[in-house]
Amino acid sequence: MSDVSIDTISRVGVVGGGIMGSGIAEVCAKADLDVVVVEVDDDAASAAAERIGKSLRRAVGRGKIEASEAEAALERVVFSSDFSKLADRELVVEAVVEDKQTKLDVFRRLSGVVEDERAILASNTSSIPIVELAVAAGAREANVLGLHFFNPVPVLSLVEIIPSLLTSEEVTRRAREFAVEQLHKDPIVAPDRAGFTVNALLIPYLLSAIRMLEQGLATAEDIDRGMVNGCAHPMGPLALADLIGLDTVMGVAETLYAEHREQLFAPPPLLQRLVAAGLLGRKSGRGLYSYS
């Protein structure tokens, strides 16, 4: 094991305790870090606690960790609706809904709440330009970058590190060191452009599968079976879109289309209708497939 760096981070904050935020908080807690999860209200904070507890219990059931380790990890996490609880954090990861104005507001608030001038302010955004979030952070602009994890966070090793034009080299180095040495993740450095690296490739693939279904060229089952059995993908594109969340898929697609104006990034009508109906995939019980 490598020597502990003088830049080791011990106090982490996560804004948003949904699927991604809770996953990020879980991996940080399992890495022996002090974690604060901030949600919009007490009910949402309680839901985040239950989400992490359920994930840890599942890991115990699968033999991934001991019950004592899961209990200790959960004890390292504080759940709150009080934004000021983030004041002493050395790293804060924003993981709220994929909406630009909501994220901009979070970074404006973080710049006024987090006391450590060296604290890294990171976003888990899938597509929103990091430079815009940096500008919202005002004097903290050099401390802002993207730290994009992948779902499920406790399982997938990849993290995209996305510096903006304003991010300092030191902050990029520290973020990479944190991902590798403390979380044992496998990071790549991605450009600050819509979709970064992975989603710029993934989203057109998912949209193409949805268009194929929409046009009646194949059934959902055959589309997914073809990619799993024929291309050795672990999951078909339609099942993956439902897992990600169709609202998230559409949000990223809209961001990609707004930046590039290429038709392959345009959300298909079927996707738009499903999102409008609240049929968002696994999290709502129905999307391209039914999960009831």
**What is the tens place of the pLDDT at every residue in 54-88?**
999 999 999 999 999 999 999 999 999 999 999 99
Task: Tell me which fold the domain 11-189 belongs to.
Answer: Rossmann fold (3.40.50)
Q: Tokens representing 117?
A: 């001038």
* 223, 213 contact by CB (below 8 A): yes
* pLDDT confidence band for 126 (50 / 70 / 90): confident
Q: How far is CA 6 from CA 9, 91, 244, 275, in A?
A: 9, 15, 36, 46
24: phi then psi, degrees, rounded to nearest 5: -65, -45
Q: What is the dihedral of CA 71, 73, 76, 78, to 10 degrees?
A: -80
Please write the tens of the pLDDT for every residue from 217-264.
Answer: 999 999 999 999 999 999 999 999 999 999 999 989 998 999 999 999
- pLDDT score for 151: 87
The CATH 1.10.1040.10 portion of the chain extends over 198-281
CATH code for the part of the protein at 198-281: 1.10.1040.10
- Given this model, what pLDDT does residue 1 score? 41
Six-digit token string for 3: 């020597």
Would you say the pTM of this structure is higher than 0.75? yes
Beta bridge partners of 99: none
Count of other CB atoms within 10 angstroms of residue 10: 11
Q: Which residues are known to be catalytic? A: 126, 148, 160, 199
> What confidence score (pLDDT) does residue 142 get?
98
Two tokens at 113?
């709440």
Q: Is residue 270 over pLDDT 90?
A: yes
Residue ranges of the chain assigned to CATH 3.40.50.720: 11-189
What pLDDT, on a 0 to 100 scale, did the predictor assign at position 6? 54
Crossing angle of helices 246-260 and 237-244, rounded to 10°: 100
